[in-house]
Structure 1
Amino acid sequence: MAKTDAGGPEGPDGWPVVGNTFQFARDPFAFYERCADFGDVVPYEVGGMTFYLVTHPEDIERVLSTDHRKFEKGAFQREQLSGVLGEGLLTSEGERWREQRQRIQPTFGPEKIDSYVEVMTDCAQQAGRRWWDGRQIAVDDEMRRITVQILARSLFGTDISDHVETIADAMGDIGAQAEAPAATALLPEWLPTPWDRRAQRGVDAIDGVIEDLIERRRGDAEGRDDLLSTLLVAHDDGEITRGTLRDQLVTFLLAGHETTSLALTYTWYLLAENPAVRERLHDEIDDVLGDAVPTMADLGDLSYTEQVVTEAMRYYPPVHRVVREASEDVQLRGRAVEAGSILTMPQWIVHRDARWYDDPLKFRPERWVEDRDRPEYAYFPFGGGPRRCIGMRFAKLEAQLILATLARNFRLELVGDGGPLDLTSGVTASPTESVEMVPRVR
C-alpha cells in the first residue's frame, strides 16, 4: 500500500513508474470509490503526477472557498481543457479571470436571467411538438437540442438549430479522448494519437459554428445586452482580442448547455425508474399549472419539481469532479500536501456519502426538505467559492422549466430493464450509450 510521510490513511496499490494510471483509466468512478475507502485525503499517482482524493466537505470548502488563494486551476486542468476552451472563463486565472468575470457577470444577473423564462419554455414546447406517443426517442439528444437552442437564443441572440447536430457530433469527437487506452497517457505530448486527431476534428467543427455565429451578429451588437453582443462590443472597442472572443463563445456554447442537458437526461431516467416519484411530480405540476405553461410566478409553487432536479444532480452529478492544484504546501486533515499536488474533489463520491445522506443510493427528492442538517459542501454540483459556475442560476431555472413544461403532457418510460447507467468520465459524466426512452401522452 502507498504511504505518505504523514502516515495513514493508506492509498491504493500502484505499479512502478505508472502508479495508478491503468486502474484509473479502466474505470475512474470505481477507482474513486476504492480510494474513498482509505479516508478523506487519499494519495494516488496517475501519469507520473501526484493526486489527492479529497472527500470531506470541510476540506472541499477550504480548497474552493475559505482558502481558495492557496489553490488554483493549475497546469493540469489547463492542459485538459485549453485545447478546446482556450483561455476562456473556465481556464483563465488571476487578473485575466477577474476581468472576464466582471465583463460577463451582468449577463447572468437575476433580472436578466428571469427575462429568459419565455425562451426556455418556448424551446421546451417546440421539442414536445416533435414527440409522438409511443415513438422511441434518444432523450439525451432531445435535451441537448433544447438546451443548445435556449443558450443560443438567450445568450447569443440568434437561432442555431441548424447547428445542433454539428455541435453534438463535435462533442462526441472531443469526448472521445476519455475513451483512449490508458497507455496513451504515457506518450509524449508531441505524438498525436487517433483520439487526439478525432478531438481536434471536433474542435475545428465547433470553431466553424462560432465563426458563423459571429458573422450572423456582426454589425448589430450595439444596443443589445446579450452575452454575444457584450463580447462583440468589447472586441470592436479593442478590449479583447479575436482569440479571447472565440474562447469565451466556445466556453459558453459547450459548458453552457452540457450540464443542464445531462441533468435533465438523468432526471427523466430516474423518474422512469421511480414511478412513485414521477406520479408525485405530475400531481404537483397538474395542481400548479393545469394546462398552462409555467411562468416565473409559478416556480415558488413547483417546490417538488425543484427537489427532483436537485436530487437527480446529487445522484448523477454531470460535473462529477472539481480539480485544483496546491500553489503552496498545505495540511489537509493532518496530511502534508506539497505544492504542485493536484486535488480531486469528486461529487460522485461526496454526493453518495452515507455520512451526509441517508440511504444515498435511493432516489428520494423529499430528502431536501426532510433533512437539511448536512455540511454546505456535501452538495456542490456547480463547484463553489469565487469560481462557482457563473451560470448556476440560469441552469437551475432552465432545468426546472424544461421539466415542468414537458411533464405537463408526457411521462417518459424506460426502454429495457433500467438499472444503473453506464457513464464515461470526461469533463462531464456522460452516458456511454444513447439513453433511449418512450414518451407517453398524459
Structure 2
Amino acid sequence: MAIFHFSLSSTAMFVLFLIFIAFLGYCLYVKYTHMKYDHIPGPPRDNFLLGHSPTFLRIMKKGDLVHDKFLEWAETYGPAYRIHVLHYVLVFVTCPEATKEILMSPKYPKDKFLCNSLFNLFGQRFLGTGLVTARDHDHWYKQRRIMDPAFSSLYLRGLMGTFNERAEKLMIKLTDVADNKTETSMLKLVNFVTLDVIAKVAFGVDLDQQKNKSLFPKAIETCLKGMVYSIRDTFFQFNPKNRPFIREVRDACRLLRTTGAQWIHDRKVAIQNGDDVPKDILTQIIKTAGKEESMTTEDEEVMLDNFVTFFIAGQETTANQLAFCIMELGRHPDILEKVKKEVDDVIGMKQEISYDDLGQLVYLSQVLKETLRIYATAPGTSRDVLEDIVIDGIHIPGGFTCAFMSYVTGRMEKFFKDPLKFDPDRFHPDAPKPYYCYFPFALGPRSCLGQNFAQMEAKVVMAKLLQRFDFTLVPGQTFDLQDTGTLRPKSGVMCSVRHRKS
C-alpha cells in the first residue's frame, strides 16, 4: 500500500512538474512577444499575462465604451500602437496609407483569433465559416461569387416593392403612436422593420414583427452580447456565475440555426417541386451548396452559417443606423427641416417610393453617411499580417493582427474638423472624399456585400418617416452608446411622434 501511495504521489508530482514546465515555457513565449513588439508605442500593460484585457473588462463592467479607449490611445500613441492580450499582439492603425495597403489587398487574411471566436459561441456553432468568417480566400471567393447576384443593382431595383411594403407597416404603427399621443422607442420600432425586411427579402418569410412579437430580436441581441464577452474576456466561460447567461447564448444560437434549417428545407422542397422561387439570399445559399457534387454535413453547416450571418448582419446594423439618424435629426432641427424639404420636393405625397427617387435624395444620403461617421455601427475590422511590414515609419515583424476602427478615425480631428459636430455637408458631392479614414462597411474585397441593400432600405424608411411625421426627443434621456458587438443608442431613442401638417 505504501509503495502504491508513493507511486501515485510521484505520478501527481510528475504531472505538476510538466504543467509547471509548460507554464514556464508559455511565459517565456509571452516575454518573447513583448520584446519583439515593445518598440511600437502603446499603453502600459495591466498584467504580464493578461496584457490590456483587464482594462477592457473594467470599461465593460462600468457600461462604458471600449472604442472610446481605443480613440484615446490613438490620439496619445499615434497612428500605429500596440496592445497585448496573452500572447496575441494587436496593432491598431489609423494611418490611411497602411489602411489602404492592407484592407484593399486580398493577401491579408481575416483575423484568425476573431474568426475562431465567431465560429462558435461557448461550444455552440455560430457564424462558422460563412461569408464573413471564411479565412481561406478560395472558400470565401466561391461563396461571394455565388452570392453576388442577390445583391446586383438589377435585383435590388426589384426589391423596392418589399422595402415600401414593410416600411408602410412601420408607418401604420407610428400612426397609432401619434394618435394615442404616447412616447415610443424608435430603436425598437426600426428593429422590427429591419427584421421584417431581411426575413422577407432574403428568406421569403413573413414575420410581421409589428404584430407578432417573435423571439428573434432577443436571440440576436443575446448572441451579439455573448460574442463580445467571448472575445474580450478570456476566462468568461470558466466563471460559474456566467453559466446561466452562457446557456442563454447557446439556446439563442440554436434557435437561429434551427430556424435556418427549417427555412432552407422548405425552400429546397419548393425548388424540387418546380415552384417559382425568388432569386434571394436563401436561393443563393442553396445554390452555393448545389455546386458541390455531393453534400456533406459540413456543406449543410456552411449553409446555416450564411443564414445566421445574413440574418444578423442584415438587420442589426441597419436598425442601429436608423435609430442614430433619428436621434441626431432630433438634436438638430435645422438639419431636420432641410432633409424634410428635400423629401417633400422629391417624394411629395407619393406612397410608393421608386428606385429613381432614391438617387435624388442626395441630402438624405449625406445625413445617413454622416450618421455612420460618428456612429460606426460595425465599429471596425481586422486582418492578420504574417510578413514584416512598415507602418508610419515603424518596422513591425510579421505575425500580428492589425485592427482598423472606423469609429476611431471617424472621430479624430486630424481627419474630420470638429469631429463630434453632426455635419452632413462633409459628404456633399463636391466635398473632398475622406482618404481611407471612413469605412463603415470595411474596404476592399472583403467589404460588406450588403451595403447598397442596407442604404436603400434606410433611405426608404427615413423618407417615409420624414414625409409623414414630426418627432421630438423625449427630454432627459442620454445620448450614450451601448456596445453589443455592434453599437446602438443606449436610451433606445425615446420620441414623441405626431402627424405632419400638410
TM-score normalized by the length of structure 1: 0.91
Deviations 1:371-405 (A, max 9, x none): 73354312111001001111111111111111101
User: Which region of structure 1 is more displaced relative to structure 2, 325-334 or 31-40?
Assistant: 325-334
Contact 1:144 1:257 in 2 (8 A): yes
Moved more, 238-247 or 184-193: 184-193
C-alpha change, 1:190 and 1:342, in structure 2 (3 Å) is farther
In the other structure, the counterpart of 1:283 is 341
Distance in 2 between residues matched to 1:291 and 1:259, nearest whole Å: 29
* Conserved? CA contact 1:89–1:248, under 8 Å: yes
Q: Secondary structure at the match of 2:325?
A: helix
Q: Which residue of 2 aligns with 1:232?
A: 286
Is structure 2 residue 440 aligned with structure 1 residue 399? no
List gaps (5 residues or longer) in structure 1. none
Q: Which residue of 1 aligns with 2:201?
A: 154
What residue number does 2:15 align with?
A: none
| Contact kept? 1:73, 1:324, Cα under 8 Å | yes
> Which amino acid letter does the alignment assign opposite residue 46 of structure 1?
V
Tell me if the contact between 1:6 and 1:335 (Cα under 8 Å) persists in the aligned partners: no
Q: Is contact 1:57-1:375 (8 Å) kept?
A: no
Q: Which whole-Å CA distance do the structure 2 matches of 1:370 and 1:251 have between them?
A: 33
Task: Give SS of 2:424's match.
Answer: coil
Q: Quick check: 2:143–2:288 contact (8 Å CA) kept in 1?
A: no
| 1:43 counterpart letter in structure 2 | R
Question: 2:460 and 2:83 mapped to 1: Cα distance?
Answer: 41
Retained in 1: the 8 A contact 2:37–2:397?
no
Q: In the aligned structure 1, how far is the partner of 2:419 from the partner of 2:357? A: 30
State yes or no: 1:136 paired with 2:178.
no
CA-based RMSD: 2.6
Once the two structures are superposed, the pairs formed by residues 31-110 of structure 1 within 5 Å of their partners are 31-36=69-74, 37-65=76-104, 67-69=105-107, 71-83=108-120, 84-93=126-135, 94-110=137-153
- Whether 2:408 is the aligned partner of 1:349: answer yes
The one-letter code of the counterpart of 2:119 is S
TM superposition shift of 1:10: 4.1
Paired residue total: 438
Q: Deviations over 1:190-213 (max 9, x none)?
A: 999434332212101212321332
Q: Once structures 1 and 2 are overlaid, which stretch shifts more, 207-216 or 381-390? A: 207-216
Q: Which residue in the other structure is 1:408 paired with? A: 467
CA 1:179/1:235 → structure 2, altered by over 3 Å: closer, same or farther? closer
Task: Tell whether 2:491 aligns with 1:437.
Answer: no
Distance (Å, rounded) in 1 between the aligned partners of 2:231 and 2:258: 31
Q: Is the 8 A contact 1:322 1:346 kept in 2?
A: yes
* Letter of the 2:67 counterpart: F
- AA matched with 1:144: N
Task: Render the CA deviation track for 1:291-324: whole Å, top value 9, x for unaligned.
Answer: 1132112122211111111111111110101111
Whether contact under 8 Å (1:325, 1:340) holds in the other structure is: yes
TM-score (norm 2): 0.81
- Report the AA paired with residue 319 of structure 1: A
Alpha-carbon distance in structure 2 between the residues aligned to 1:259 and 1:5 = 34
Structure 1 ranges of 4+ moved more than 6 A? 188-192
The alignment partner of 2:192 has SS state of helix
Q: Quote how far apart the aligned CAs of 1:181 are.
A: 10
Cα displacement string for residues 236-295 of structure 1 (whole angstroms, at most 9, x for unaligned residues): 564562112111111111111212111101101111111111111111111211111321
Question: Aligned residue for 1:364?
Answer: 423
Deviation at residue 164 of structure 1 after TM alignment: 6.0
